[in-house]
Every structure is written in structure tokens, then in C-alpha cells.
Amino acid sequence: METRDMLWNGWGDPDRAAPLPEPVVTLLRDLLGVRPASAPPVALADVSVPESRLPPGALIDLARIVGDRHVRADRESRVRHTRGKSTSDLLRLRSGEAVDAPDAVVLPGTHDEVLAVLRACAARRIAVVPFGGGTSVVGGLAPHGVEAFVALDLRRMDALVSVDEVSRTAVLEPGLRAPAAEALLAERGYTLGHFPQSYEWASIGGFAAARSSGQASAGYGRFDEMVVALTVATPEGTLDLGRAPRSAAGPDLRQLVLGSEGALGVITSVTVRVQPIPAARAYEGWRFASFAEGGAALRRLAQDGPLPAVLRLSDETETMVGLADPSALGGEPSGAGCLAVLGFEGTAERVAERRAGAADVLRAAGGEPLGAGPGEKWEHGRFDAPYLRDALLDAGAFAETLETAAFWSDVPALYEAVRAALTGALTGAGTPPLVMCHVSHVYPSGASLYFTVVSAQGDDPAGHWARAKRAASDAIVDVGGTISHHHGVGTDHRDWYAREIGPLGAAVLRAVKDRVDPAGILNPGVLVPPETPETPETGE
């Protein structure tokens, strides 16, 4: 089964692309000074890819392992595996620049083929970048400092291997895309319940490698909480981890693989908890007078329950703009205050019980119920934001997101510091932004903040953003937050990640990498901080 390809220089299904409504274009012009883009995006046929740098004979070696049909070095295959889906990634592709294109794309069909590819590449010092859905927004697919590299596209490894109905677990192959996984599990009456915004295109292996968090993680758990066993191929052999849900037999090595972003191995099998498909779902909206008041209400639910499966809170700006409901952008304003969205899933009885319990808590915390409307609108449009970004880029605007998490008592300072950093940097560059934020995930001890930034592209959108992102990242680390709650580290966050885990933490990661990947071929430059920091790009 051939997996459908995503729009090569944007997001998702090409048929779903749609221009911005005219009133929004007017609003962007009046509010942010957005002007139409000077030139349309370059066509795929006109993208320039570098000459292949693979050593002679490498393609033949790889074809011997996976079969001729499964090694591809044509321009389109290479362009389609170039970088990920950050706005900067897209802007560069739209301008026709693909210097980070892999030298070839290799599609293994089995764990043993992955092992053999890794060994062959280690012997020839060819870097390997595991490729699932290709949805990284943190530079996780653009290795640094390599001579030549292949994208290891796992789409052929897309089986639901088995379901254990007694243990309620399923064994999934890494290349299975999330919607296909849900469809296969649904035939047996189960769901993963993992719905990040990248859901429609992301892969199971990617979820594990990126330590993914979904929109319903309050109810179903983060992906790292769902994984009970893993198989990982490395140039030095295989890791098979997980014999019980929990163990006291040493450190939890599964948690060393989850979040390893292809730098420590290629995940070839994932055993996850599954749950019966919920009989009932209910989504609803609530309004709070302020982000602080709404945040306190969410904290109550996170600490004392009942906790909905989905729980989000937009700040005043995001609520006003209506990004909580992307389809409403530029339409009727969503009203004052801050919009919260709650989603309940489970048996009808449990949904009713939790919904009533949560309503009591939210009312006592000052919330005003808005009924099902805003919740259902959100659920309907939950995967649409990346499409909206394409339309914004087409219209000459710049749009990007970043996210972080902290303990509850640090959240207010984190919110203020990141907003100030983004606003200051972009305003200083002559492209004053609209900065919006929502609480995307809650825990008993803390929460995550998800920021969306829209501005004019200006003369150098990538440069402007690089500076703003750097200021925001500094603010995050200085306030004590984590550099990413769900996007990951990649290459973009690596320097701040190094500050987060400290020199000894970084040294530990390097020691692990050196052991499983002595030739250093696995996603070089991604995740693992170098011993001597590279000279930072100044973006000037």
C-alpha cells in the first residue's frame, strides 16, 4: 500500500488548500501591514537540489538490502523528504531552495532491513535520517555537518502487528500513519486516543521518537505514557525494551528511547496501550474573565478533578482573534475574556458525571458556560490550523508557533516573558506581531503554553523569526520552563536543550549515542548537544 504524499511545500492534503477570505486579508493589511507576496512559490520541477554526494556503489548496496524499487534518488523523492514543516522550512522550499535534500530515500520493509541499512551506512559513514510523517517543526529532519545522508522512510512498515485484548495493548509498526492506525484499531473496537495537531499525517514511530503529546492527552495520556514496549534498531544491534507496564528493574530505558528523535536508533516496533472506542463524546465551551482566572480554574480540574479528556484555554488575544476556532478567523469576534474548551470521552454515564463535576468546579472558579457550540466548532476544526498557515503565507503573512511547559507557579512569568520577547523582537524588526497563546495541556503540577505568532513577512521573514525565536527561547530557559512540551528538540532547540539538561546531562546523552552509534550516522546534529558548542548562527 502506497501512502499518499503531503503537499510538498505546505501542509496536508493539496485538495484542502483554500485562500484566506478577503475580509481577513484586509484585516491583516490594516492590523499588521501584511502586503501580498512578491512572487508565487516555485514549482516542484524548478526546485534546485544539490548533486548527490553518496559514495559510488552506495545506492547499489542499499538496493541489495531493501530492493531496487525501494531506493529512490529522483528529484521529487528528494524534495519531498527535505526538512520538515516549520514555517522557515516551507519558506525556503517555496523559494526553490532545497540544499538540505537527502541524497537518496531508502524504504526498508522490516526490522532486519533497517538493521542492515544502518550497518551499511555506518560502514560508509553515510548519515541516516529516520522519516515518518515528515511533520517535524523543529529541524528534526535536517541533519547538521554531514557529508551525505539518506532519508529512511518507514512508510512500508505500516502494519498493525497484533492486538492483545486481555492486556489491552497493540503492537504497531513505526510507519503506520495515525489515521490508519486508528482505522485498523477501530475494526477491533479500540482507539489510541492520540490526536496531536499533526494527527492526519504523523506516524506512530514519530509519535514515539518525538515524545508526542495529543490534544486529548489529559484523558488518554501522552504518547510516552501509552508506550509499554519498544524495539529499536541501532548500528550496534537491537534494543528490546518493556516486559511489564512498570518495573523496578533499573532505570526505565523505554524513556531513553522516547524522545530520542532518531539520534539513538530507529524505532521499528511500538507496543501501546489501547482503549475501547468511547461510546460518548461531549465538547463544550466556557468563558473566563481573564487568562489568569481561567488558568486557576484549569488548575483546579488538573489537581482535584474531574479531568476532561481535552482541556484548553485561549488567552484574551487568541480568543478575540478566534484562533481557538480557526474557521471563524475574521468572522464574528468570539467575545471578550478567554475561551476554554473541554472535551469528555467515555461511557455515556461517565461523560455525564464528569461533565457535571467539571461544571461545578468551573462555575465556582468564575466560568460562564457557553454550551456545546464552541466546543464542537473546536473539535471540528482541530486539525485545520496548519492549512490556515499555508493560506497566510500565500497572502504574504508570516505565521509560526512555539510551545513550552513549566510548573504552575512559574506559568504566569513564563507567559509574560515569552510574549514580551516575541513582541519586542518582531516589533524591533519592523514587523509587529499578533501574539496569541493557549494552555494546551495540564498536569497536577504544571501546564504547557502554546504560542501562535502572525506578522507581516517583511523583507527577511526567516531572519526576523530566527531572532524572535531566539529571544523567546532564551526567555523560556531563563524563567525555568522546558524548551519544548511537544514539538521536540531537533536542531532548532538544541542549544537551549543543552542549557536545560546542563553539561553533565548532555555528556550522558553523548555517551549513550557514542555507544549505540559510534560512527555518528544517526540524525547528526539533531537532539544531542555537541561537546563544544558550535558557533551560534547570528541570523544577521
| Whole-number Å distance between alpha carbons of 170 and 274 | 7
x/- letters, 140..179, toward its own copies (CB under 8 A) = ------------------------x-xxxx----------
Whether 340 contacts 295, CB under 8 Å: no
Among 26, 327, 427, 445, which residue interacts with its own copies (rule: CB under 8 A)? 445
Identify the burial level of 140 via C-beta atoms within 10 angstroms of its C-beta, where 0-12 means exposed, 13-18 middle and 19 or more buried: buried
Residues 6 or more apart whose Cβ sits within 8 Å of residue 428: none
488 interacts with its own copies by CB under 8 A = yes
Q: Which grid coordinates belong to 251?
A: 532505570
443 interacts with its own copies by CB under 8 A = yes
Site for its own copies in 50-69 (CB under 8 A): none
| Whole-number Å distance between alpha carbons of 352 and 376 | 16
Site for its own copies in 258-287 (CB under 8 A): 258-261, 264, 273, 275-276
∠ CA 374-404-86, rounded to 5°: 85
**C-beta of 242: minimal distance to its own copies in Å?**
9
Q: Which is nearer to its own copies, 206 or 458 (CB)?
A: 206
**C-beta of 13: minimal distance to its own copies in Å?**
26
**C-beta of 229: minimal distance to its own copies in Å?**
9
**To the nearest 10°, the Cα dihedral for 197, 172, 82, 323?**
0
Site for its own copies in 183-212 (CB under 8 A): 210-212
User: Which region, judged by CB under 8 A, interacts with its own copies, from 33-41, 121-129, 244-252, 368-376?
Assistant: 244-252
Among 40, 57, 251, 536, which residue interacts with its own copies (rule: CB under 8 A)? 251
Q: Which is nearer to its own copies, 276 or 430 (CB)?
A: 276
Look at residue 188 and give its three-state secondary structure: coil
| Whole-number Å distance between alpha carbons of 410 and 108 | 45
Q: Give the CB-side neighbour count of residue 469, counting CA atoms within 13 A.
A: 28
Among 509, 519, 521, 522, which residue interacts with its own copies (rule: CB under 8 A)? 509
**C-beta of 388: minimal distance to its own copies in Å?**
23
Among 417, 489, 519, 522, which residue interacts with its own copies (rule: CB under 8 A)? 489
Q: What is the DSSP string of 360-418?
A: HHHHHTT-EEEEHHHHHHHHHTTT-HHHHHHHHHHTTEEEEEEEEEEEGGGHHHHHHHH
Q: For the chain, what's the residue count? A: 540
Site for its own copies in 99-138 (CB under 8 A): none
| Whole-number Å distance between alpha carbons of 285 and 314 | 11
Among 82, 401, 423, 448, which residue interacts with its own copies (rule: CB under 8 A)? 448
**C-beta of 455: minimal distance to its own copies in Å?**
25
Among 405, 425, 471, 522, which residue interacts with its own copies (rule: CB under 8 A)? 405
460 Rama class: left (phi>0) / alpha (psi -120 to 50) / beta: beta
**C-beta of 442: minimal distance to its own copies in Å?**
9
Q: Which is nearer to its own copies, 87 or 440 (CB)?
A: 440
**C-beta of 327: minimal distance to its own copies in Å?**
28
Residues 6 or more apart whose Cβ sits within 8 Å of residue 518: 122, 235, 236
Among 327, 480, 533, 534, which residue interacts with its own copies (rule: CB under 8 A)? 480
User: Which region, judged by CB under 8 A, interacts with its own copies, from 104-112, 148-156, 246-254, 428-436?
Assistant: 246-254
252 interacts with its own copies by CB under 8 A = yes
Instruction: Enter the DSSP assignment of 498.
Output: H
Site for its own copies in 407-426 (CB under 8 A): 407-410
**C-beta of 404: minimal distance to its own copies in Å?**
8
Cα Rg of the chain, angstroms: 23
Site for its own copies in 341-370 (CB under 8 A): 350
Q: Which helix (H) or strand (E) holds 312?
A: strand 310-314
**C-beta of 273: minimal distance to its own copies in Å?**
5
Look at residue 496 and give its three-state secondary structure: helix
SS3 string, 193-220, reads CCCCCCCCCCEHHHHHHCCCCCCCHHHH
**C-beta of 419: minimal distance to its own copies in Å?**
18
Among 148, 501, 530, 539, which residue interacts with its own copies (rule: CB under 8 A)? 501
Q: Which is nearer to its own copies, 48 or 255 (CB)?
A: 255
Among 364, 507, 533, 534, which residue interacts with its own copies (rule: CB under 8 A)? 507
Q: Which grid coordinates belong to 360?
A: 461545578
Place of cell 501574539: 435
**C-beta of 436: minimal distance to its own copies in Å?**
21
Q: Which is nearer to its own copies, 5 or 236 (CB)?
A: 236
User: Which region, judged by CB under 8 A, interacts with its own copies, from 73-81, 109-117, 333-341, 404-412?
Assistant: 404-412
The candidate with the shortest Cα–Cα distance to 262, out of 198, 222, 207, is 207
512 interacts with its own copies by CB under 8 A = yes
297 interacts with its own copies by CB under 8 A = no
Angle, helix 385-394 to helix 87-94, in steps of 10 degrees: 40
